[in-house]
Structure 1
Amino acid sequence: MTDGQDVADWWRTRIIDMEPGRIHLRGRPVQELIGTTGFAEMIWLMVMGEEIAGDRARLFEAALVAAVDHGPQAPSIAAARMAATCGVGLQAAMATGLNMLGDVHGGAGEQAVALYRAVERAGPEGLAAALDAWRAEHGPFLPGFGHRYHKPVDPRAPRLLALVDAAAEQGAVPGAYAEIGRAIERHLAAERGKPVPMNIDGATAVIYAELGCPPPLARGFFGLSRSVGLLAHAWEQMEQGGRNKGPTPPGYRWTYDGD
C-alpha cells in the first residue's frame, strides 16, 4: 500500500493548485485575477510564471494583436474555413488551422529569435559571419525579413519597432534586439542592392527577444495570436454557409501529370 503520493507525483506542476472551492494560478487566487488582470497579462503569468506590467505588458499585447490574421490566403486560415464547411464544430475548425502552423508557416518568429541571439553572441563585428553561418545551416532565407505580399514594407513591423523604441527609452526593455534587427536590415540592403525590410515575424521576434522569451515560445505565442483569426474566420464561414468547400471553386481543376 502507498499513501497515493506516487499517483499525485505522476504530474508535477507549478502552474495550478486546486481543491474543492479553491483555485490558485501561479500562487494567485483566481478570484483576485478575475477582473483585475488582462488576458495578455494572464497569458504571460501562466506561461512565464511571473507578472508583466506597464510598457512590457503593452509590448507583449502589441505582438499578440499584430499577428491575429493574414487573410484566407494564409494556409492556417484557409484550412479553418474549409474545415468549417465540412460539418465539424468550431473548435475542430480552429484546431485544423492551428495544426497547419509549422516550420514554414508559423515558425519564422521562433527562428528569428534564434537568429538574433546568434548575432548577439557574434557581436557587432561578427554580423556577416553570423549570417553566413546561419545560411550555411538553415538555407538562404533569413527568417523575419522580406515579404512575398507586403512590398515594400509590412505595415505591422514599423509600428511594433516604434513601440519597442519607446519602451527602451523608458528602460522597460534593453532595445538591443531592435538594433540587431535593424543591423540585419542594413546588411541585407547592402548585400542585395535594395531594401529587405523586417516583416511581422521579425518584428514580433524583436519583442519576444526583448522580453526574454526562449525562441520556442515565439512560435507558441504566435499560435495563440493566430487562434483569434482562426476563430473569426471559422465562425464567419459557418455564418456564410457552404458545404465541402475546397481550396478553389469547383469550376477550376487541378493539373494531372500522369500518363
Structure 2
Amino acid sequence: MTDTSDVADWWRTRIVDMEPGRIHLRGRPVQELIGNTGFAQMIWLMVMGTEITGHRAALFEAALVSAVDHGPQAPSIAAARMAATCGIGLQSAMATGLNILGDVHGGAGEQAIGVYRLCERAGPEALKDTLDTWREAHGRFIPGFGHRFHKPVDPRAPRLLGLVDEAAKAGAVPGAYAEIGRAIERQLAEERGKPVPMNIDGATAVIYAELGCPPPLARGFFGLSRSVGILAHAWEQTEQGGRNKGPIPPRYRWTYDGD
C-alpha cells in the first residue's frame, strides 16, 4: 500500500474538513451554519476558530460595518473605480483596490493596537513617555488619531467607543483599551492645543484589541471591511461607464519640474 501521508500533510489545516458530500468548517457542518450564523460571526469562526456571540459579536460587526467606505478620495476606492474603466472585470477592479492597502492606507489599525499595548504595559503614568518613544522610532504621527477631513471629530469613533462601553459594562470585554485610547486623545490635544480626534482606525483598533485579536488581524479585518466599499464603487463605476478614467479630469495637467 502506497503511503500518501506526504501528500495529505503538504497542507495542514484546522479550518476545513471535506470529502464528497460533506463539508465541515471549524468542526461544524456547513449546512448547520447556513441560515443560522451571521456573516460577521462566520468571519470570526473561520479566522479565530471560536464562536463569537452577544456583545462581542455586535462589537465585531460594528467594526466591520464602520470602515466599509470613505468615498472616492480614498486611494483604494479611487484605484478600483479607475480600474473599472480600463476594460478589466469586476474582480480585477476589486483586487486593484485591495492591493492599494498598505502600511499607510489600511495599516494604521494594526499599528494602533501596538501603541495601545505599549501604553498598557507601561502604565498610565508613563503615557507621554511611551508616545514619545513611539514617535522617536516611527515619526510624529500616532496611528489612529487625527483625520484629514473629520475635524474636530470622526463621527464613527464616538459611536464605536460607546458600543465598547456598553460591552464592558456587560462584562463582555475589559474596556481597558477604550480608556487607553481616550487617554491618548487627551494627551495629544494637550500637546497640540487643539482636538486630535481618534479616527476610524483608532476606534476599530480599540474593538479588535478588546476582542483579543493579534495586531495583524486589524489590518486583515480592515481589508475585509473596505472590500465592501471597493465592490460597491467598482460596480457603480461599471454601470456608469467611462473609458480610461485617470485620477483627474483631462483638462487638468500635472506640474512639470524638469528643465
Aligned-residue identity in percent: 85
Question: How far, CA to CA, are the matches of 1:222 and 1:154 in structure 2?
Answer: 17
**1:54 alignment partner in structure 2:** 54
Partner residue, 2:18: 18
- Aligned counterparts of 1:184 and 1:112: Cα–Cα separation in 2: 11
Shift of 1:152: 0.9
Which residue in 1 is equivalent to 2:176?
176
2:5 corresponds to which letter in structure 1? Answer: Q
Deviations for 1:180-237, whole angstroms, at most 9, x for unmatched residues? 0011011111111111111100000000000000000000000000000000000000
Distance 1:18 1:167 in 2: 36
Aligned to 1:133: 133
Q: 2:242 corresponds to which residue?
A: 242
Q: CA RMSD in A?
A: 0.8
Distance 1:26 1:131 in 2: 40
Q: Could you say which residue in structure 2 is the equivalent of 1:186?
A: 186
Between the aligned partners of 1:129 and 1:51, the Cα distance in structure 2 is 38
- Alignment partners' CA distance in 1, 2:14 and 2:2: 24
Q: Distance in 2 between matches of 1:228 and 1:147?
A: 22
Which 4+ runs in 1 deviate beyond 2 A? none
Superposed, 1:38-117 pairs within 5 Å as 38-117=38-117
Could you list the runs of 5+ residues in structure 2 that have no partner in the other structure? Answer: none
List per-residue Cα deviations over 1:53-93 (Å, max 9, x = no partner): 00000000000000000000000000000000001110100
For 2:101, give the aligned amino acid: L
Once the two structures are superposed, residues 118-137 of structure 1 have per-residue CA deviations (whole angstroms, 9 ceiling, x without a partner) of 10010111111111111111
TM-score between the two structures when normalised by the length of structure 2 = 0.99
Letter in 1 for 2:188: L
* Aligned residue pairs, count: 259
Alpha-carbon distance between aligned partners in 2 of 1:126 and 1:25, rounded to the nearest angstrom: 44
Instruction: Please tell me the residue identity of whatever aligns with 2:70.
Output: H
Q: Which amino acid aligns with 2:229?
A: G
Note if 1:205 corresponds to 2:193.
no
Q: Post-superposition shift, 1:253? A: 1.1
Hey, what does 2:3 align to over in structure 1? 3
C-alpha separation in 2, matches of 1:225 and 1:243: 28
Amino acid at match of 1:67: A
CA separation in 1, counterparts of 2:10 and 2:39?
A: 30
The Cα shift of 1:2 comes to: 4.2
Residue deviations 1:130-171, cap 9 Å, x none?
111111111110000110111111000000000000000000
Q: State how far apart, in whole Å, the 2-side matches of 1:101 and 1:118 are.
A: 25
